[in-house]
Structure 1
């Protein structure tokens, strides 16, 4: 019997498996999708997350960015990182690097689906494999989470797949409780800034991340109906920057982003990454939180204390959840939303401290 079975080979699952192997645990990963796995995301990795991946022996290549720029029609404010740069990395490149590290550590990655999960007081069985523990890292719309009855709230219903050229949602981006989704596409153009740019409009936000010397990624978050191209019309300054730049990838979609979870532990199964719950992509902290919580999961396996994982997960993720939730609350307020960027421009020191705290 192995120590840990990991369901899902995305960043959260792969990082969990790598750390477990480095800690001397026996581990197997099951993942039915072929590598490298792409996903609609902002593709910016915070400095702290880059450092953590480096300590795991994961070698990344991408384009450094040195801060975050907020822009709306009248304002622009920059916050540069104090601790060091983040890294813009294509999702496929990140995943390939993680898979390479798993191979170096001789961690098996099996082409299997999880299927039904059974467990007792000493083991858990899924995908035909019995282990002491199961780490569920099967993503935003986790089938394991649903199977174990850990979903909480109607916001967990998925309405789309990975390739989603069109969004459809009943609420507007300013409505309280609006269902938000994301669309992402790449463009062949040299980055014009060494910052990640976040463009704000009444429709939502557009994130511009440099991921190579000749490539940028654009991720749009909104709850409005429309296509990527129609949404881009809401950001005229960004649209002008991209004029004439050929698309370098197809449009991918993800959502609903908000995922409410009643708990992260069910017996000998622990949820990690997006499967463990998600607030929003506003602050771009998904990878960093996944890495920090994956370390706690492995520690709980080592100590044979799965019951300690819920509190550990809350302890290491609370700050990000609080900041993201607060910003999302302001974004969903018709009174506060148009004042977010002006307030950051008026209080650049406070804005910079918040950005550096997140990074």
Structure 2
């Protein structure tokens, strides 16, 4: 019987496999999709994510990012990262780099569909395989989360994301966040001749409908050729009642997701992957819930606060002017986003490190 099965071959699942291999576990990844996996996302890695990936031996090619710039019409304010450079990386490039690292680590990836899960006191059976533990890293709309009864549906109006790439030389080394009345556009240089533009909104409509709300940005890309197909994702907000069920641990978007507003998804996924593997090594799955809450506390608080502050149009219109007047606050916020999320070590009841 294997030590660990990882369901999901995206960044969260592959990072879990790398952590597991490093810990000496016998691990297999189960992923239904074959080949490079793409996804609608902003594609900006914060410095903490770059450092966390490097620690796993993963160094994807991309475009260096110096910081974040907020734009609202003629107003703009920017702050540089204090903890190193970020990197704009195509999602496909990131997936390929993680896949190569997993292959180099000798971890098997089997392309099978996963339908249902069974577990007992000794192990878990899923996808025709059996292991002592399972990590569910099967994405935003995780079927395993739902089958385990951990899904918490939301009825409020929810945000969705759309992403397109343009073949154009980046005009900035910062991630630009353009603010409009009902949407934000995230501009991320991902190569010397390629820029990704992701739009987040609660409104329905096509990508072009939403981009029309950003005249300056529209002018910049009007003559640029599109690269690849448009991608969409959502609803973004997903909640789980818990991060564990028996011998199953939820990692990445499957464990719950607030919004893409702060761009911390990859850093959090890698940190959660490390914490989940530590829990498996210790045989203390219940400790992962506490570790998950600690690792995601800053993200959940900051993202929820920003969403709440920008849910009213009056607040949205005041955001960039306020950041201009209080550059120290904007800089501190950017610095908080850039810092890595550390998996750390769980403390035993005696207060000593448990591993």
Partner SS, residue 252 of structure 1: strand
1:323 alignment partner in structure 2: 302
Q: Matched residues in 2 for 1:253 and 1:203: separation?
A: 17
**Number of equivalences:** 338
Contact kept in structure 1, 2:6 and 2:30, CA below 8 Å: yes
Matches within 5 A, 1:97-136: 97-136=97-136
Q: Matched residues in 2 for 1:178 and 1:142: separation?
A: 20
Find out whether 1:226 has 2:205 as its counterpart: yes
In structure 2, runs of 5+ residues without a counterpart are: 339-355
TM-score, structure 2 normalization: 0.94
Over aligned residues, Cα RMSD in angstroms? Answer: 0.9
Find out whether 1:44 has 2:23 as its counterpart: no
In structure 1, runs of 5+ residues without a counterpart are: 156-176
- String of CA shifts for 1:208-243, please: whole Å, max 9, x gaps: 000000000000000111111111110011011112
Matches within 5 A, 1:174-193: 177-193=156-172
Find out whether 1:248 has 2:227 as its counterpart: yes
Contact kept in structure 2, 1:35 and 1:95, CA below 8 Å: no
Partner SS, residue 140 of structure 1: coil
- String of CA shifts for 1:134-159, please: whole Å, max 9, x gaps: 0000000000000001011235xxxx
Partner SS, residue 227 of structure 2: coil
Matches within 5 A, 1:214-293: 214-293=193-272
Contact kept in structure 2, 1:139 and 1:274, CA below 8 Å: yes
Q: Matched residues in 2 for 1:334 and 1:236: separation?
A: 18
Shift of 1:198: 0.3
Partner SS, residue 283 of structure 1: coil
Partner SS, residue 179 of structure 1: coil
Matches within 5 A, 1:342-357: 342-357=321-336
Q: Which stretches of structure 1, 4 residues or longer, exceed 3 Å deviation after superposition?
A: none
Q: Matched residues in 2 for 1:186 and 1:334: separation?
A: 28
Q: Matched residues in 2 for 1:86 and 1:356: separation?
A: 12
Partner SS, residue 9 of structure 1: coil
Shift of 1:343: 1.1
Shift of 1:336: 1.5
Contact kept in structure 1, 2:181 and 2:313, CA below 8 Å: no
Shift of 1:340: 1.2
- String of CA shifts for 1:49-68, please: whole Å, max 9, x gaps: 11111111113100011000
Partner SS, residue 33 of structure 1: coil
Q: Matched residues in 1 for 2:31 and 2:286: separation?
A: 26
Shift of 1:35: 2.0
Find out whether 1:74 has 2:74 as its counterpart: yes
